[in-house]
Amino acid sequence: MLVNAKEMLNRAKNSIYAVPQFNINNLEWTKYILERCNELDSPVILGVSEGAAKYMGGFKTVYNLVEGLIIDLNITIPVALHLDHGRSFESCKKAIDNGFTSVMIDGSSYSLEENIKITKEVVLYAHERNVTVEAEVGHIGGNEDGIEADIAYANLEDCIELVLKTGVDFLAPALGSVHGIYKGEPKIDTVKMKEIRDAIDIPLVLHGGTGIGDEIIKNSISSGICKININTELQIAWNKNIRKYVEDNKDVYDPRKIISAGEQAIKEVVKEKIKLFGSSSEA
Ligand code: 13P
């Protein structure tokens, strides 16, 4: 069932686990993720970047794709369709108007004042339509959808001010994580994470979930993280299996056979993460 992310994240916060956000890129990924999450009875957030939405045809196509799969595959877990790193009010509005149930407004490239202003604008529009909103404070590093950023750690006062002034539903404080591959060991500030959790009573989000070791993930969950985003790890696993299949089966040209060679890879990563994050009712 397509729902906003409020209830699933509040449950995660109360019971101390994290809901996975898996980013989607096409029909097959969406299908594999939904099937595996449903099998393991885990809620899921399907993350769609602006670039991925454009690649798939647009927000309406993505919405119809997800809605159609939920019906055709008899998916009964809670599913949120979430705009990942919306860069403007217009982009968030467009996603909401086309049926997305959750959006992230990424005002992290602006000053705190401007970030608050744009986040508040999105929250007003979204809440009237029962859509949840995520914001970012500080700067998550690495490459997200072609945009490069250096790490800038969030500060506690900025997080408190943004949350109080905007009424945002969940917050991604940048605390050392990076989109894509880490150069060296990730340095995630879980001490500050706890301080933020204790000060602002809303679920926290960890971006750049790929490449963070299990211990740091577990520590982050016990420090207030209720949603963890995974994208690159799915891409790497899928890519590896497809390459091997193509290499081993040079005479196959049926796209269904080629693309679905990545199915087990995606499903394995999804299963591993659900187990690690503790989001399955069967865990
Ligand atoms: P990774 O690509 O590093 O897994 O991060 C995903 C993410 O945070 C999407 O917002």
Annotated domain spans of the chain: 6-277
pLDDT in tens, the chain (283 residues): 899 999 999 999 999 999 999 999 999 999 999 999 999 999 999 999 999 999 999 999 999 999 999 999 999 999 999 999 999 999 999 999 999 999 999 999 999 999 999 999 999 999 999 999 999 999 998 888 888 888 899 999 999 999 999 999 999 999 999 999 988 889 999 999 999 999 999 999 999 999 999 999 999 999 999 999 999 999 999 999 999 999 999 999 999 999 999 999 999 999 999 999 999 987 5
Number of helical (H) and strand (E) elements in the chain, helices listed first: 12, 11
CATH 3.30.9.10 fits 6-277, yes or no: no
Question: Helix 27-39 crosses helix 263-277 at what angle (to 10 degrees)?
Answer: 40
Tally the C-alpha atoms within 13 A of residue 76's C-alpha that lie toward its C-beta.
Answer: 4
User: For the purposes of burial, counting CB atoms within 10 Å of the CB of 38, is it exposed (0-12), middle (13-18) or buried (19 or more)?
Assistant: middle
Gap from CA of 152 to ligand 1 centroid (Å) = 16
Is the CB of residue 230 below 6 angstroms from any atom belonging to ligand 1? yes
Distance, in Å, from the CA atom of 160 to the CA atom of 112, rounded to the nearest integer, reads 11
Contact 49, 85 (CB under 8 A): yes
CA angle 198, 12, 97 (to 5 degrees): 100
Predicted local distance difference test score (pLDDT) of residue 282: 74
How are beta strands 141-144 and 147-149 bridged, if at all? antiparallel
Query: Ligand 1 in contact with 23 (CB < 6 A)?
Result: yes
The pLDDT, as a whole number, for residue 283 is: 56
Beta bridge partners of 179: 142
CB of 70 closer than 8 Å to CB of 57: no
C-beta 180 within 6 A of ligand 1: yes
DSSP H or E stretch at residue 73: none
Taking each helix axis from N to C end, the angle separating 89-97 and 112-127, rounded to the nearest 10 degrees, works out to: 20
Would you give the DSSP letter of residue 131?
-
CA dihedral 71, 73, 74, 80 (to 10 degrees): -70
Q: Is the dihedral of CA 189, 6, 209, 136 positive or negative?
A: negative
Task: Provide the residue type at 127 as one letter.
Answer: H
Q: Distance between alpha carbon 258 and the CA centroid of its chain, in Å?
A: 27
Taking the centre of ligand 1 as the mean of its atom positions, its distance from the CA of residue 20, in whole angstroms, is 11
What is the per-residue pLDDT for 149? 81
Q: Which of 94, 92, 33 is nearest to 66 (CA)?
A: 33
* Cβ 276 vs Cβ 40: under 8 Å: no
Pocket test for ligand 1, best of 217, 229, 234 (most atoms within 8 A of CB): 229
